[in-house]
Structure 1
Amino acid sequence: MLSSEGHDVIVIEIDPTRLHTVEEHLDVQTICGNGANPSVLKEAGVEESDLLAAVTELDELNIVSCLLAKSLGVKRTIARVREPEYVDLDQMTQKNALGIDLIINPERVTAHEIAKLITKPEAQIVEYFAGGKVQLLELKMMENSPVCNLELKYLECPQQFLIAAILREGKVIIPRGKDMIKVGDMIFVLAQTKEMGEVERFFGQRRTRMQNVVILGGGRIGYYLAQLLEHKHMNVKIIEKDFNQCQFIAQNLHRCLVIHGDGTDLQLLEDENVGATDLFVAVTGDDKINLLVSLLAKHLGTKKTIAQIRRSDYTPLVEKVGIDRAVSPRKLAASAILRFVRKGKIVSVTLLNDAQAEMMELIVPESYRYAGKCLKDVGFPSGAIIGALVQENKIIIPRGRDIVCPGDRVIVFALPNSIQKIEQFFS
C-alpha cells in the first residue's frame, strides 16, 4: 500500500523464498538479512529514512530493530508487539527506553474491532469519528428496503445522513443525486451516532441485540474479546483445544464458560447448542478452520458468524460462502501504520473493503487556502467526498453551500487514486 502511494520502500526479509515473492509482486527494493543487525539497517539506509516499521512475528526482534534504528538516526519507528508486558508500558517508556513511537498489537485491535461489530450486527462495517459523535455503517440493501430503485435526490429523512459510497458487484461508486440504490448493494452511510438508529430504520434495517456468543479459539484475540464482552454482560463460551490455555482463561475470566475440545467436532458443536447462539466468532490461527467451523455453525442455525482471515486472498470468499463478516488483523495494522505516515493533521485512517476506499478524519490546517469559500466553489478532488464536518462541537452533514474553516474536523471518504489529491487539498 505504501509503495502504491509513491513512497520509497525497502523491505528487509531473512527468508529468501519470501523475499523472492515480494520482489515479484511489489515495486519495492529488497535486502536479504536480519533486521536487528546494524550493518543490514545501514545497508537499507535507515539513517536517512523517515520511518522504520518492524512487523516480524517476534516481539523482541521488532523492539531491538526499532532501538537500533533510532540510535542510527531514523525519524520514527513502529513495532508490532503482541506480549501484554510490552504493550501495556506507558508511552514515555516505549519511546525513550525502547525507541518506539507507535506499538501495534494486532490481536488487541482485532478484538476491539469484533466487539464493535457485535454492537451493530446488522452492519458489515462499524466506525466512529469525531470522538464517537459520527458513525459510519456499511449496510446491505435487501428486497424489503423502501429506498431501493429511488434516485438519491428523492430520499427524504428527518435525520441528516450521507451515502458516502455504494459497493456494487465489487466496484466502489461515489454516488450523485441521480444514482439509485439497488437490491444487493452495500451502502456506506454517515450520520450522527445518536441519530443512526432512525437512519437505519429509514433504510429498512432492523437492529438485533446480541446476548449469547460462542468464540472458537482461546488465543490472544479470543481472550481479549471475551474480556471485552464480559464487561458488556454477555453470555460467552470459549472453545479451545489447548488444555493449559483453557486453564489460563478460566482463572482470569469470571463469567465466561471455557470448553476444552476441538471446534471442528460437529458433535461438540451440537452438544454445546451452537445453533441457538446469536453469534459465532472463529479466531483460531488457522484461516481454513475459521472458515469451516463458521460454516458448520451457520448450518446448525447460528444467527451471525464472524471469522478471522489472515490471508487476503481468502477475503473475497467469505460473503460468497455465507459467512457474515471477516476481520483481518493485517488490514487493521495497516490502517494504524497508514495513519502514522499520512501528511497533515490526520486523526484517523480507516481502510474499507480491502483498501478499495478509505475514510480519513483530519483537522483543517490554518494554511487552508479555501477558507471562506463554499464547497461547491472549491473544486474538491473527484473520487472523494466530505462526509461530515465538526465545527465548534456541532456536527454538519455538508452540502454545497457549507464552508470548511481552519480548525474544523473533516471526515473524508476517498478512493485510492484520490488520497494524495486530498492531502494536497488540505495541506
Structure 2
Amino acid sequence: FGIDLFVNPEAICAVELAKAIRNPSRVAIEDFAKGQIEVQKVHLAKGSKYINKSLSEINFGADLRIGFIERAGSVLIPNGDTVLAEADYLTVFGHPETLFNKREKFDPKQKIDSTSVVLFGGGETTISLIRMLSNPRFKIRVIEKNPQQCEVLANLFPHIAVIHGDATSLRLLEEEQIGVADYFVACTKDDEENILTCIQASKLGAAHVQLVINKGDYDKLLDTLKDDLNIEVVVSPRIAMSDYMKRYLSNQALTELADLPNQSGQIYQLIIPHDSPSIGKKIQELALPKGTLVVALLHKFKAKVPSAEDTLITDDRLIIISGLDEKKVVLKKLLG
C-alpha cells in the first residue's frame, strides 16, 4: 500500500478490516507497515514435512520468517541450526498472502478454501478493501444503492459481483443469501444503516460481521456495539487514523511492541538515526548477538522480511526479536 495512507483514513480503515479477513488466526502483536507485514501463530502438526528439519534446510521463500518458537513451556529464538519439532507453536512474520498460502505446509489439515465476502457500500473504504483482497480465493460481492457508483465499481473490478440495491432491505439480504457468507462488512458513510444491516446479517447467520462507524459520537460505544450486537470487528476511521499517526509518524528511536511468553525476550521497533554506526552496512555485517532476529524492515515506506544483503539507511525501521540481555547490545550497535 502506498504513501496515500498518510492522508486517507478510509484506506487505513480498510487495513483494519482486511486483517481478520486475510488471516483469521493472526496474533495480537499487530501488523507492521500498514498491513504489509503481519504476524501469525501456527501449529506444527503431525504430517508436516517441516518436522525434524533445521531452518537452514527449509526454503520458506523471501516473504516469511519464524520469529520465535514455543515448545514444551519454553521459548526459543531460532537460528539456522534450530530443528523444528512436532507440536511446536511458531510465531511467523511475513506478507499476509504468504502466511495464508503456507498454512497447509505447517498443518496439512489446514486446507485453503474460498472465502465469501459481502460489502455494503461502494465508497473509498470498499475500493481499498477490494484491492487488499485481490487473491482469487476471495469471492466478493458489493451491494451499493447508487447506480453510477455501481458502474464505477464494475469497471474498476470486473472480477467481482456488483449488486444495485439497498442492504437495509431484509428481503434483499435473504435473496443474496447473506446467511451463508463468510464475511459481511457494512462500510457506508451512514452509521445507522451500517448498524442495521450488521444486525440483520448476524441474525441471518453470516459467519463474521464487521462494522464501520464514522461519527465521533459513537467512539465511546465501539466495544459495547461489538458485545451487544454480536459484531466481530468495529472500526472507526477516526480512531484508526489516530492510532496510525501515533505508530508510524513517531520519531521515537525505540518502541517496545510486545513481550515474549515467559518474559523470555521482547519484540521492539528501532528507527535508525542519522548518526547510527549501522548506516551503510548490510544486516549480515552488523554482527548482532546470537538470539537476535530482524523480522521486518520498513525501507522508504515499503515493508519486507529482510535478507542478510539489505543495507540500512537513515530512518529505516526494524522490527527485532531478542532476549533482554541481547537487546542492550543491539541498541548499542544500531542506535550508537
TM-score scaled to structure 1, two decimals?
A: 0.46
Structure 1 residues 158 and 125, CA gap change in structure 2 (3 angstroms): closer
Partner of 1:128: 31
AA partner of residue 361 (structure 1):
Q
Partner of 1:211: 115
Map of 2:210 onto structure 1 = 306
Number of positions where the alignment pairs a residue of Structure 1 with one of Structure 2: 252
CA distance in 2, matches of 1:304, 1:106: 23
Contact 1:335 1:349 in 2 (8 A): no
The match for 1:37 is none
Shift of 1:218: 0.9
Show CA shifts across 1:281-320 (max 9, x none): 1101122322221221121111111111233123112331
Structure 2 match to 1:116: 19
Tell me which amino acid in the other structure corresponds to 1:238: V
Q: Does the C-alpha gap of structure 1 residues 305 and 259 become closer, same or farther in structure 2, counting only changes over 3 Å? A: same
Relative to structure 1, is the Cα distance of residues 137 and 126 closer, same or farther in structure 2, using a 3 angstrom cutoff?
Answer: farther
Shift of 1:105: 0.9
**Secondary structure at the residue paired with 1:404?**
helix
The residue identity in structure 1 corresponding to 2:13 is T
Aligned mate of 1:334, from 242, 246, 251: 242
CA contact (8 A) 1:364 1:406 kept: no
How has the CA–CA distance of structure 1 residues 109 and 340 changed in structure 2, closer, same or farther, with 3 Å as cutoff?
Answer: closer
1:271 aligns with 2:188: no
Q: Does the aligned pair in 1 maintain the 2:12–2:240 contact within 8 Å? A: yes
Give the 5 Å matches for 1:236-251. Answer: 236-251=140-155
* Change in 2 beyond 3 A, CA 1:279/1:220: same
Q: CA deviation at 1:269?
A: 0.4
1:272 shift after superposition: 0.3
Is the aligned partner of 1:404 residue 2:307?
A: no
The answer for the alignment partner of 1:297 in structure 2 is: 201
- Taking only the aligned residue pairs, the percentage that are identical comes to 27
1:363 to 254, 271, 288: 271
In the superposition, relative to structure 1, how do residues 104 and 133 fare at CA in structure 2: closer, same or farther (>3 Å)? closer
Tell me: CA distance 1:124–1:259, structure 2 relative to 1, closer, same or farther (3 Å).
farther
CA gap 1:292/1:213 in 2 versus in 1, 3 angstroms = same
Bigger-Rg structure (1/2):
1
Segments of 5+ residues of structure 1 without an aligned counterpart are: 1-86, 95-101, 140-151, 161-188, 351-358, 375-385, 409-425
The 3 A distance-change label for structure 1 pair 132 and 262 is closer
**Root-mean-square deviation (CA), in Å?**
4.9
Match 2:225 to one of 318, 336, 340: 318
What does the per-residue CA deviation read over 1:89-130, in whole Å, with 9 as the maximum and x for residues that have no partner? xx8xx9xxxxxxx94111122223323321112348574348
Q: Name the SS for the 1:316 alignment partner.
A: helix
CA separation of 1:244 and 1:364: change in aligned 2, threshold 3 A:
closer
Aligned position for 2:129: 225
Cα shift at 1:333:
1.7
Could you say which structure has the greater relative contact order, defined with CA pairs below 8 angstroms and 6 or more residues apart? 2
> Who is 2:191 aligned against?
287
Say if 2:77 and 2:322, in contact at 8 Å, map to a contact too. Answer: no
Measured after TM superposition, the shift of residue 220 of structure 1 is: 1.4
Q: After the TM superposition, which parts of structure 1 deviate over 6 Å for at least 4 consecutive aligned residues? A: 130-134, 157-160, 194-198, 386-392
